[in-house]
Amino acid sequence: MGAHTANTLVRGRFPRPLKPRKERMVIIEKRTERIKFWLTDKELKQIDRKAKKLGMNRSEYIRHLIANCKLVHTPDIDYEDYYNRLKSISDKINTHLIFLNQTGTLDEPQFHLLCEEAVETAKQLSNELTEKLDIEIEKSKGVKA
């Protein structure tokens, strides 16, 4: 048989037209390592949906994510301490409000002090976090991916 041309029938159909080649040089490195891990059905469907949207298969999509991810520096901040401090104040305020609901009376001076304490603590926490985050941002400027 002779060579097929663009108009030659192959098994009763015309062959698909050749897609134009991309004009960039691609260096393909042989992949020798395999990673196996578990996903939920929802996670797998999300990967498949996003890969399809980009015209990629799962492997291509995951490689794309790895190649294009940006490292995010996570500040060394004790958020649990901040949470506990605010929760303690919140619990005290809630106790006063429960008492108000049950008895119809409120220790207004004490409640007012608690509210002021809550506002002051929130300001302190905000200032501390801002200061720590500023320090972490400066540190991260020297860290490259």
The confidence band for 16, taking pLDDT boundaries of 50, 70 and 90, is: low
Per-residue pLDDT at 22: 53
Structure tokens at 26: 């691609």
Structure tokens at 95: 């106790």
* Cα maximum dimension of the chain: 101
Q: How far is it, in rounded angstroms, from Cα 92 to Cα 60?
A: 54
User: Which one is predicted more confidently, 18 or 141?
Assistant: 141
Most trustworthy range by pLDDT among 9-13, 44-48, 111-115, 121-125? 44-48
Lowest mean pLDDT among 5-14, 55-64, 89-98, 126-135: 5-14
pTM of the model: 0.42
Structure tokens at 114: 């608690």
How much is the average pLDDT of 75-90? 82
Q: How far is it, in rounded angstroms, from Cα 40 to Cα 19?
A: 36
User: How confident is the prediction for the chain on average, in pLDDT?
Assistant: 80
Q: Is the pLDDT of residue 104 over 70?
A: yes
- C-beta separation of 17 from 6 below 8 A: yes
Type of residue at 82: Y
For 110, counting Cβ atoms within 10 Å of its Cβ (0-12 exposed, 13-18 middle, 19+ buried), the class is exposed
Cα-Cα-Cα-Cα torsion 35, 36, 42, 47, nearest 10 degrees, comes to 30
